[in-house]
Amino acid sequence: MPPYTHTGPVTCDQAFDSSSLKGKTAIVTGGANGLGEAYVRALVAAGLNVCIGDLDAAKGQALEAELPGTKYIPCNAAIWDDQVRLFQAAKSLSPSGRISYVVANAGIHRPDEVFQYAGDDQEPQKPDLSIINVNIHGPLYTAKLAAHYFISQNGQTPSPEQEDTCLVLIGSGAAFLDCPRAPQYCASKWAMRGIMHSLRRTAHYYGSRVNLISPWYVKTKILSEEDFAHVTKVGVQFAEAEDAGQCLLRILSDTSINGHSLFVTARKWASRGYMDLDLEDYPGNALVGEIQEEQMWSAPVSAGLFVIGSTAGCPTSRRVALVGLAADCSYRAAFSSAEETRRELITMVNAASEVFERRFNVSLGIRNLTISDGDCPETGSQSTPWNVGCGSGDLDWRLQQFSSWRGAQDDSNAYWTLMTNCPTGNVVGVSLVGELCSPNRGANVVVRTSNQWQVFAHESGHIFGAIHDCESSACASQGQCCPLSRSTCDAGGQYIMNPSSTSQQTDFSPCTVGNICSLMGSDQVRTDCLVSANAAPTTITSGECGDGIVETGEECDCGDNCDGNACCNGETCRFVDGAVCDDAAGSCCTECQFANTSTICRPSTGACDVQETCTGHSSDCPADRHVSDGQSCGNSSSLFCASGECTSRDLQCRDRLNGLGTDVSSCDDTSCQLSCSVDFGSGSYCRSMRQYVLDGTPCRGGLCHSGRCQNSEDSSRDSSSWIDRHRPLFIGVVAGVGGGLLLGVLIAILCACCRRRTPVTKGRLAEAPSAFSGSSPPPYWMQGRA
């Protein structure tokens, strides 16, 4: 999902349509009295089901009896278990089993003891900080549970078609003002602004929203007559509780409202009783905007929240992605000879490689090239099922055939590309997304066009995990796309990852750079197949100076980035006088000399990973070494080392399901296929994740490697599926949930939650029509689930 961008102040004086909210389910903490009751009544009037959490049982039960579609649950918001029960009840109340909206309203206000003076002869007394406990701890519990349920419903790779989810925090006008003699209360309401700021970008990343409502003085039954009289006596005009309810409905109805604070105020200041003060993004303050940008750049890459233009996470020394190419009969028939076909493909890859090297520090090299005969067979052979004429199938069919064929190849290529001359309508490319270094699925299909290298670069970008750049239609529909900048959505069709392709697109957008680098740096896209540019990898163009790959006969190769290189002569691919290495090509090269043996070139990432230092006689960092697989680690007997990580099967499940919490666990400790159990409140259900556990995970007396249990007591058993070994449980689940409906929901949730290391999305590329064709622009090809 693209990063959060500020959309400007909300226009609050216009009418809005809340009909889209009907039938959905919401939670309101502290919902039995005061403003909480106003929020509940507004939601019910709009047709929502509402779960009310409150300590006032009498009032809560009365609201449940009065308002259809409501359920009262006793709840102290400062107690975690109470809120857990509240969310479980809301899920049961929901006809769809989904929780769409959460309002964190619970809070208290009481006399503050911070300035209470006991007298000169008294020792200071520890103050009662219950306001902080309820007003800050409670909303944080609510935020945690809301994130849990929203992510479990949407997955970590949300699609544009998913249902909206939104957390609304309740602050106060005190969060914008000085309020004498109420430090705890004011601090707690300022904290709501801080929590909203800290959540909004991450929530947006997962396809959700977070907003804040900050009410002014409101006359409710919670306010005593004495306090009401005092405030009105000095001329203060109150806000209306009903306006607060309408403010909430506006936020929920408009999915473009994210990261905003709406101020519920007296109508003398706002015609509808609420307004956007537009203070959350410091409009017009370029300095604060610059500081904010640097703050985002300094965020850890492991967070997975990429920053537009940031190269953090991309290789620091040049790497090479070895590519396999196959040209089918239709593509070969477009050329006079196989040699002409070969030259065309080399030119295509070299052009794309220049951009990849410049932006990601990764060169593309052709390791394998298969060119078919120009005469198309009527049916594909068993060895090359993809080699058929244009009438045999569309691009999706060709991708399926080619991906299956690619999975049978015994190589370590980064990915394979099928070249064809068979477009499907105006679609000229299709790719699996995020499948770099995936030996079973890393494949795409590219159609021959006049701007062929741009199409190849686009589909290769998808392999590296890139999504499409934003265009106006996607911006208007809140589609999943990469914006031009943090303030502008439409990228204007300038860049390679635009949904339609032209010859003018010669670079990746800053957003794509940040996206791909973040994915590589956070291990959400595999990079273990990328080889050092100094390792002399064998390609079909070996010995060609200037391709950015150091091959036999070359000392260095700075490719197209030789300007300012003090170590390598780009014309001869030889070191300059006195140089023994190239700083740009090795992490153990400093000022054209080998780094000393005390230089750390790869820090330890944890208890199971060994720190590597330079050898003093090579520019490459030594091979990555790990603690032996299966060895105990950490402070728990259940933790073990596997592939350099201190992990367990439970942790692997939580990692794959995006850290949903302690109610995610492994439900099979023998197979090399990961199987996870998720507690959805009404029971735990076990599901195979369709991916292997980490290499090195213990299994029946052995260790898993590439999905097989090696050196085990009975390795032959590993070929049986998890379902076969647990068939009674599996059939029992299916039979016990009403025709499999609940199991279907469970499967959909779990599949949607899998890490992007094994995504199932596809990216399609449309060819831009001629400017003189008179045809309408091509549709925006949304990523569709396979």
492 in Cβ contact with 11 (< 8 Å):
no
Phi, psi of 701, deg, nearest 5: 85, 0
**Among residues 459, 471, 555, 645, which one is catalytic?**
459
Cα–Cα distance for residue pair 123/185, rounded to 1 Å:
24
Half-sphere exposure of 657 (CA within 13 A, CB side): 34
pLDDT at 235: 79
**Helix H or strand E encompassing 204:** helix 183-205
Topology adopted by domain 555-625: Echistatin (4.10.70)
The CA-CA-CA angle for residues 151, 157, 158, to 5°, reads: 70
CA 524 vs. chain centroid, Å, equals 9
DSSP string, 490-555: --TT-STTSSEE-TT--S--HHHHHHHHHHHHTTSS--TT-EETTS----TTTT-TTSS---TT-S
Going through 588-683 in order, the beta strands assigned E by DSSP cover 589-590, 593-594, 600-602, 612-613, 640-642, 645-647, 664-666, 673-679
Question: Is 571 known to be catalytic?
Answer: no
519 in Cβ contact with 306 (< 8 Å):
yes
Calculate helix-pair angle for 741-753, 138-154, nearest 10 degrees: 100
Calculate helix-pair angle for 338-360, 452-463, nearest 10 degrees: 50
pLDDT at 486: 64
Query: Residues near 352 by Cβ (< 8 Å), separated by ≥ 6?
Result: 364, 453, 454, 456, 457, 460
- Among 683, 669, 680, 688, smallest CA distance to 733 is for 683
Residue 462 assigned as binding residue: yes
| Backbone φ/ψ region at 232: left (φ over 0), alpha (ψ -120 to 50), beta | alpha
206 in Cβ contact with 150 (< 8 Å):
yes
Query: Residues near 736 by Cβ (< 8 Å), separated by ≥ 6?
Result: none
- Among 349, 345, 332, smallest CA distance to 460 is for 349
Long-range pairs for 425-429: beta carbons < 8 A, 24 or more residues apart: 426/500, 426/766, 426/767, 426/769, 426/778, 427/395, 427/764, 427/765, 427/766, 427/767, 427/781, 428/455, 428/501, 428/765, 428/766, 428/767, 429/395, 429/455, 429/456, 429/458, 429/459, 429/501, 429/764, 429/765
Phi, psi of 433, deg, nearest 5: -105, 135
Phi, psi of 298, deg, nearest 5: -85, -5
For strands 664-666 and 673-679, give the pairing.
antiparallel
Q: Which CATH architecture has domain 319-525?
A: 3-Layer(aba) Sandwich (3.40)
- Among 53, 306, 107, smallest CA distance to 202 is for 306
Cα–Cα distance for residue pair 743/735, rounded to 1 Å:
10
The CA-CA-CA angle for residues 336, 342, 346, to 5°, reads: 135
Q: Tokens at residue 649, please? A: 């099967």
248 in Cβ contact with 26 (< 8 Å):
no
Cα–Cα distance for residue pair 733/675, rounded to 1 Å:
15
Specify the DSSP class assigned to residue 469: B
pLDDT at 731: 27
Domain borders along the chain are: 19-114+127-283, 319-525, 555-625, 640-753
613 in Cβ contact with 623 (< 8 Å):
no
Domains 19-114+127-283 and 319-525 alike in fold: no
Q: Tokens at residue 33, please? A: 């009295």
Cα–Cα distance for residue pair 270/398, rounded to 1 Å:
59
- Among 261, 250, 170, 164, smallest CA distance to 208 is for 164
pLDDT at 497: 95
Query: Residues near 416 by Cβ (< 8 Å), separated by ≥ 6?
Result: 323, 324, 325, 326, 368, 402, 406, 409, 442, 443, 444
pLDDT at 124: 78
10-residue stretch averages of pLDDT, the chain, 786 residues long: 63 89 96 94 96 95 96 95 96 94 90 71 80 91 94 68 88 81 84 90 83 87 71 82 94 90 90 84 63 59 62 87 96 94 93 93 93 91 92 92 90 95 92 88 93 96 92 69 80 93 92 89 84 80 75 82 87 93 89 94 85 92 88 88 89 68 76 79 64 85 84 46 34 28 29 29 49 24 24
Residue 468 assigned as binding residue: yes
Cα–Cα distance for residue pair 696/640, rounded to 1 Å:
9
- Among 394, 413, 494, smallest CA distance to 454 is for 494
On whether the 19-114+127-283 domain is CATH 3.40.50.720, my answer is yes
481 in Cβ contact with 749 (< 8 Å):
no
pLDDT at 41: 96
